[in-house]
Amino acid sequence: MRPTLLLLRLFIAWLVLAVVACIWENLVLLWQIGGGALLFAMLVDAFTLPRRGRITGKRSLPGRFALGVESPVTLTVTHAASRTLNLELFDGIPTAAEAVDLPCRVTIPPGEYAALSYQARFLRRGQHVFTPAHVLATSAFGLWKNRHFVAGESETRAYPNYEPVVRFAMLAMANRVEQMGIVKRRRMGASLDFHQLRDYQDGDVLSRIDWKATSRRSTLVSRDYEETRNQTILLVPDCGRRMRALDGGLSQFDHCLNAMLLIAFIALRQGDEVGVVGFGGVQRWLPPVKGAHSMPKLLNHLYNYEASNEPSDFIEAAERVMTLQRRRALVILLTNLRSEDGATLASAVAAMQRRHLVLTATLREQELEQRAAASIDHLQDALQYGALTHYFGERRQLMESLRARRVLTVDESAQMLPVALANKYLDVKAGGLL
């Protein structure tokens, strides 16, 4: 039980009256009557507070939360008191979440309930726990409040933001993937397997006409091909400390996870299998899985990946890939390259290229590009611009050295990485490089 602001104001007024009564003795009786009345009101009002267990509630959570995306949470509160209750509620949200609509106030008549909804947004992936909600109930005269705990604990998970994946699926159903910037590549023969024979249709390429079947049936017959399937895509995310840098409100590691989800969805949809090998403080391994039904398995494996405080060791990553993945695969290394990575990265890529096709996807810091594009007004701005120019030059040299070694590369900002990586994967499939 705690006093309200109204009670504190009344008590302060009574103290002021006591000071005045010390000056004018005629007010002493009034001060005594006022004190007695206030004490009596406090005692009577304390008995109007609802007892423990008279206020109950339950919490309704969405099936899953997406990182950085607001999702509704509903608290349903009821009470067994015989009068109308004025309540103040604050849900026990996890430390990794935020909600701008809390605390909230509600008035509940006897025999009724209140369903309160607010938007919660998680700032960190993983498994989280909502603790019991705090409810402050006000007494009849408004002099006291007491606290109740309702709704109990609720476990939930915050997954990477898979909105680009859902958006791609919806556009793909409408045959409009180009609206995302993902370009459907013209398939070359090297990446296609024979599927079946069918009747010739207007627009078929003449090279696909099966002349032996045509001579037997006395009508044009075309060969039908399907894209090569059962290939392996191995995602190798850098979980080291360099990926902890924030970019647009999310860490670079979270942006990498978003790109991984999109490329995994496309690959599984095309009949390929997808595996995951973490490095840089995270020694986790998901053997390649296949089929669109495997997407939830990938989500459950990736949702609690976190960037560690350890350095990124590309040699270690190459050794793990060569040990765990025996079959030839497209190895997609997702990181944020630095100029000092040249020697170790070259050795690691060379080791993996003996068996696999390697694609290095690196993130560009959008904040650094914005600083480089800002106007130069002072000496400090000029020095900063010079340092950034030197940094970008070293980065370009590193990417050119990788291309010279015939390593596939993607160098994009965090926001554009998912689409750029998807287009690169489709290029690999179209060219039959794998």
Q: How far apart are CA 415 and CA 176, in angstroms?
A: 20
Q: What pLDDT, in 10s, does the model give residues 43-54?
A: 998 888 888 888
| 232-431 shares the fold of 55-159 | no
Q: What is the mean pLDDT of the chain?
A: 83
Q: How far apart are CA 7 and CA 39, in angstroms?
A: 11
Q: 429 is written with which tokens? A: 């499939």
**What pLDDT sits at residue 213?**
80
**What pLDDT sits at residue 12?**
92
Fold of 232-431: Rossmann fold (3.40.50)
Please write down the HEC assignment for all residues of the chain: CEECHHHHHHHHHHHHHHHHHHHCHHHHHHHHHHHHHHHHHHHHHHCCCCCCCCEEEEEECCCCEECCCCEEEEEEEEECCCCCEEEEEEEECCCCEECCCCCEEEEECCCCEEEEEEEEEECCCEEEEEEEEEEEEECCCCCEEEEEEECCCEEEEEECCCHHHHHHHHHHHCCCHHHHCCCCCCCCHHHEEEEEEEECCCCCCHHHECHHHHHHHCCCEEEEEEECCCCEEEEEEECCHHHHCEECCEEHHHHHHHHHHHHHHHHHHCCCEEEEECECCCCCEEEEEECHHHHHHHHHHHCCCCCCCCCCCHHHHHHHHHHHCCCCCEEEEEECCCHHHHHHHHHHHHHHHCCCEEEEEEEECHHHHHHHHCCCCCHHHHHHHHHHHHHHHHHHHHHHHHHHCCCEEEEEECCCHHHHHHHHHHHHHHHCCC
**What pLDDT sits at residue 176?**
45
- Write down the domain spans for the chain: 2-46, 55-159, 232-431
Q: Which residue has the tokens 């995602």?
A: 235
**What pLDDT sits at residue 190?**
45
Q: How far apart are CA 357 and CA 182, in angstroms?
A: 22
**What pLDDT sits at residue 173?**
45
**What pLDDT sits at residue 330?**
92
Q: What pLDDT, in 10s, does the model give residues 330-389?
A: 999 999 888 788 788 888 999 999 999 999 998 887 777 777 777 888 888 788 888 878
In this prediction, the residues of the chain whose per-residue pLDDT falls under 50 are 173, 176, 187-191
- The reply to whether CATH 2.60.40.10 applies to domain 55-159 is yes
**What pLDDT sits at residue 318?**
92
